[in-house]
């Protein structure tokens, strides 16, 4: 028997959430503005905004943090199952 747990579903190991929408809404920043300011396609920012990021691009995360003057910990959090 393996000493490592197998990963079967998101429910079993939790989920990473993005709270970009809350930060942007608090600061009254639009997705169009953030896309232009970070030199990122609107569709990419929209996925982050809707918490539908499938793969975390650290360069985009760094650009968002730079423009919003925040840290990655302000944007993402782990939801335990």
Alpha-carbon span 7 to 19, nearest angstrom: 25
**pLDDT per residue as tens digits for the range 9-68:** 555 778 899 999 999 999 999 999 999 999 999 999 999 999 999 999 999 999 999 999
Question: What is the reported pLDDT for 10?
Answer: 52
SS3 label, residue 64: helix
For 10, 72, 77, 78, the CA distances from 15, given in Å and listed in that order, are 6, 16, 8, 6
């Amino acid at each position: 028997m393996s000493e490592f747990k197998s990963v079967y579903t998101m429910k079993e190991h939790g989920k990473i959430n993005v709270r970009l929408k809350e930060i942007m809404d608090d600061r009254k920043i639009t997705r169009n503005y953030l896309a232009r300011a970070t030199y990122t396609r609107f569709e990419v920012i929209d996925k982050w905004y809707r918490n539908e990021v499938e793969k975390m691009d650290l360069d985009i995360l760094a650009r968002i943090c730079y423009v919003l003057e925040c840290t990655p910990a302000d944007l993402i959090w782990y939801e335990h199952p």
